[in-house]
């Protein structure tokens, strides 16, 4: 065989080997506890128990509301696993360290008890959990890969950076290894007697140094560095006092685009104070429960959406959901919603922007004193049907201009400052 052909095939073989290696890593080779049966009957009996009682919160190879269950008998003893499934709360209350740890890791979500399951049921369950639906594993791995490619729908964004970093490092390592192998082989081949065209092939070098010095390479590296520095600086800026556009991450991925936009739920249904008081109010978890008692997931998916599970946890533990405030005037100023919405007839969107399109609420206006005053200078008051203003309007009837907010005291310091 010609060296030329065998040489070019080295990288191919190497990458095939690497791919096999990663696929093996991906499917997580583990050894389940030998006490767990892998018989077909046990697995299929376990599967129906699992689907009836556990599938709403668990998957075998993916985190759902609860942890991925495959490999659980590796992480814990069989006895522990059985008593956790039967009554996790009792185990947690007894102070068992493993149980308390996993409970805290899952934000103290309460897993229902399953005292009705017999010992055989539990062993069948474990057989299914450890050996059932292996095809699921590759599907899940592929699914996760897909999610990364699609911008991380299923992967928290903070992991994306790490995953990308690791991928880059792995790629670089592969390059280095390939380079080393090629240079070793070349050196070896040069010491052998060779045919003419093989020699020629060996002479042509792949010049790393040339690439490193090339303009294109410099431009790319500089661009990357600049992009990185600019992004870090921008991120910093947003946390230092620049509040317009402020869009903090909320404890529950609540979407106005979905609720106020797609489902057209009225703002007042949740922001109950808007027409009647100073504050608009953020709804309590009980208002969410009016609907989410019944709606447990999106688009008829089975199981409880992890985001909606957080509402249940808040209600169960009688703890408020800790929404992060987006709009925040300093204490020295006074702003009243009813005055603007009910009396002034100003639309929410005039001040808050297209809320019904926002996945995450951001601060649309600057909320500075100049912003308030500009609007008060320009905006007519709604005098029609408001007896309170009749006299004022009469007084002003000489002037051509309609009555502006400034004419009723909208520029007086004391109106906006305590
Ligand atoms: C309502 C949701 C829900 C249901 C239904 C549910 N679980 Fe869980 N499970 C959880 C949560 C959440 C955790 C994490 C620990 C915690 O918060 O108590 C958990 C933890 C576990 C653990 C510990 C896993 C580990 O890695 O430590 C096991 C085992 C388990 N569940 C098995 C089951 C089995 C078997 C069923 C069905 C018979 C079941 N669960 C039904 C929510 C649920
Ligand atoms: C189903 C309930 C619901 C509906 C309907 C709803 N909201 Fe909200 N709104 C919330 C919740 C919960 C928050 C707090 C979490 C957040 O900021 O996303 C919030 C936050 C806000 C905020 C930011 C508050 C802050 O912290 O400064 C504004 C502004 C707002 N909503 C305006 C509106 C407007 C305008 C509408 C109608 C077009 C509307 N909302 C409809 C539930 C709702
Ligand atoms: C008037 C009914 C109603 C109220 C009140 C309501 N929701 Fe919803 N919510 C829905 C509907 C409808 C869906 C979409 C269901 C679908 O797509 O199948 C939904 C979906 C969601 C989702 C998406 C779940 C996912 O996995 O993507 C979250 C999160 C959510 N709601 C949180 C809340 C919170 C928090 C509150 C309280 C502030 C609340 N909802 C109040 C009707 C409501
Ligand atoms: C004239 C401008 C203006 C209009 C109109 C307006 N808001 Fe606001 N909104 C504000 C300001 C300013 C704040 C910040 C108040 C503070 O920090 O005290 C705010 C805060 C909020 C908050 C946070 C909770 C609170 O009360 O401080 C919610 C929720 C809210 N607005 C919802 C609404 C909804 C819903 C509407 C329409 C029905 C609406 N707003 C109309 C200016 C406005
Ligand atoms: C989009 C226009 C708009 C913005 C922005 C706005 N306002 Fe107003 N404001 C009005 C209108 C309209 C009225 C008149 C309501 C009425 O008819 O009594 C009003 C009335 C008032 C009044 C009562 C004045 C009086 O003499 O009765 C106060 C106080 C006030 N606004 C405070 C504020 C503050 C504080 C801000 C900024 C944080 C603000 N407004 C931003 C439109 C606006
Ligand atoms: C229409 C409402 C409104 C009127 C009228 C108004 N202010 Fe303000 N003022 C605000 C708001 C809102 C803030 C806070 C926003 C900010 O810091 O820009 C503020 C902030 C301030 C501050 C603090 C500025 C800072 O940078 O922290 C001072 C001082 C102040 N106002 C003085 C006055 C004086 C004096 C008058 C009368 C001539 C007046 N204001 C009239 C709404 C008003």
The ligand 6 atom nearest the CA atom of 415: 5
pLDDT of residue 216: 83
Q: To test ligand 1's pocket by mutation, which of 30, 64, 66 has the most ligand atoms within 8 angstroms of CB?
A: 66
- Among residues of the chain, what percentage have pLDDT more than 70? 77
Q: Cβ < 6 Å from ligand 6: which residues?
A: 329-330, 333, 368-369, 372-373, 376, 410-413, 415-417
pLDDT of residue 236: 60
Distances (CA, A) of 316 to 39, 92, 193, 285, 311: 40, 17, 80, 10, 9
Question: What ligand is nearest to the CA atom of residue 87?
Answer: 1
> Comparing 100-114, 271-285, 316-330, 396-410, which segment has the lowest mean pLDDT?
396-410
Q: If pLDDT is split at 50, 70 and 90, which confidence band does 193 have?
A: confident
- Determine contact, residues 292/313, Cβ cutoff 8 Å: no
| Mean pLDDT within 184-206 | 77
State if residue 341 touches ligand 2 by the CB under 6 angstroms criterion. Answer: no
| Mean pLDDT within 378-398 | 68
Residue 66 has pLDDT above 90, yes or no: no
pLDDT of residue 13: 55
Of residues 89 and 146, which shows the higher confidence score? 89
> Comparing 148-152, 250-254, 384-388, 393-397, which segment has the lowest mean pLDDT?
148-152
Tokens of 210: 């040339």
**pTM confidence score:** 0.60
Of 350, 343, 336, nearest to 277 by C-alpha is 336
Q: To test ligand 4's pocket by mutation, which of 247, 268, 332, 337 has the most ligand atoms within 8 angstroms of CB?
A: 337
Of 2, 36, 10, 13, nearest to 130 by C-alpha is 36
State if residue 351 touches ligand 5 by the CB under 6 angstroms criterion. Answer: yes
Tokens of 315: 């209600």
| Mean pLDDT within 284-309 | 86
| Residue 397 CB partners (closer than 8 Å, separation 6+) | none
pLDDT of residue 375: 93
Measured between alpha carbons, how far is 410 from 296 in angstroms, rounded to an integer?
47
Of residues 237 and 377, which shows the higher confidence score? 377
| Mean pLDDT within 362-384 | 87
pLDDT of residue 123: 94
Measured between alpha carbons, how far is 223 from 139 in angstroms, rounded to an integer?
38
Name the residue with the closest Cα to ligand 6, atom 10. 369
Find the 130 Cα to ligand 5 centroid distance in Å.
64
4-30 pLDDT tens trace: 554 445 555 555 555 544 444 444 444
Residue 339 DSSP label = I
Find the 299 Cα to ligand 1 centroid distance in Å.
24
Of residues 207 and 297, which shows the higher confidence score? 297
Name the 3-class secondary structure at 273. Answer: coil
pLDDT of residue 186: 83
Residue 268 DSSP label = H
Of residues 235 and 28, which shows the higher confidence score? 235
- Label residues 126-150 b or e (16+ Cβ within 10 Å = b): bbbbbbbbeeebeebbeebeeebee
Q: To test ligand 1's pocket by mutation, which of 51, 55, 57 has the most ligand atoms within 8 angstroms of CB?
A: 57
Q: If pLDDT is split at 50, 70 and 90, which confidence band does 393 have?
A: low
Name the 3-class secondary structure at 380. Answer: strand
Write out the H or E segment, with its range, that includes residue 93.
helix 78-93
Name the 3-class secondary structure at 382. Answer: coil
pLDDT of residue 105: 87
Q: Cβ < 6 Å from ligand 4: which residues?
A: 267, 271, 274, 279-280, 282, 327-329, 335, 337, 340-341, 346, 348, 350-352, 367
Find the 91 Cα to ligand 1 centroid distance in Å.
13
Residue 242 has pLDDT above 70, yes or no: no
Of residues 2 and 60, which shows the higher confidence score? 60
């Amino acid at each position: 065989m010609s060296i030329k052909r065998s040489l070019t095939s080295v990288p191919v073989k190497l990458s095939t080997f690497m791919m096999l290696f990663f696929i093996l890593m991906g499917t997580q080779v583990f050894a389940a506890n030998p006490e767990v049966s892998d018989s077909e009957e046990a697995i299929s009996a376990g599967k129906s128990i699992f689907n009836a009682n556990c599938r709403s919160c668990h998957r075998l190879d993916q985190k759902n509301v609860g942890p991925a269950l495959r490999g659980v008998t590796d992480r814990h003893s069989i006895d522990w696993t059985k008593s956790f499934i039967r009554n996790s709360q009792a185990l947690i209350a007894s102070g068992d360290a493993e149980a308390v740890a996993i409970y805290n890791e899952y934000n103290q979500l309460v897993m229902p008890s399953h005292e009705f399951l017999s010992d055989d049921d539990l062993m069948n369950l474990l057989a299914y959990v450890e050996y059932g639906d292996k095809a699921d594993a590759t599907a899940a791995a592929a699914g996760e890969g897909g999610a990364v490619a699609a911008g991380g729908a299923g992967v928290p964004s903070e992991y994306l950076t790490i995953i990308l970093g690791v991928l880059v490092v792995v790629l670089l390592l592969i390059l280095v290894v390939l380079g080393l192998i090629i240079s070793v082989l070349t050196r070896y081949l040069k010491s052998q007697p060779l045919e003419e065209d093989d020699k020629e092939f060996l002479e042509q070098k792949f010049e790393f140094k040339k690439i490193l010095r090339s303009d294109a390479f410099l431009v790319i590296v500089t661009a990357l560095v600049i992009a990185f520095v600019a992004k870090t600086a921008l991120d910093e800026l947003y946390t230092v006092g620049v509040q317009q556009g402020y869009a903090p991450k909320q404890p529950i991925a609540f979407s106005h685009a979905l609720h106020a936009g797609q489902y057209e739920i009225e703002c007042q249904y949740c922001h109950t104070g808007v027409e009647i008081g100073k504050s608009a109010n953020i709804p309590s978890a009980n208002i969410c429960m009016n609907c989410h008692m019944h709606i447990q997931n999106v688009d008829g998916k089975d199981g409880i959406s992890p985001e909606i599970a957080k509402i249940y946890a808040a209600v169960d533990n009688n703890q408020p959901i800790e929404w992060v405030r987006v709009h925040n005037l300093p204490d020295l100023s006074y702003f009243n919603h009813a005055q603007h919405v009910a009396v002034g007839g100003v639309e929410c969107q005039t001040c808050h922007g297209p809320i019904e399109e926002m996945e995450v609420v951001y601060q649309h206006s600057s909320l500075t004193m100049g912003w308030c005053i500009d609007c008060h200078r320009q905006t007519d008051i709604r005098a029609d049907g408001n007896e309170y203003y009749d006299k004022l309007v009469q007084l002003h009837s000489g002037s051509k201009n309609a009555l502006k907010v400034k004419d009723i005291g909208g520029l007086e310091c004391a109106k906006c400052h305590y």
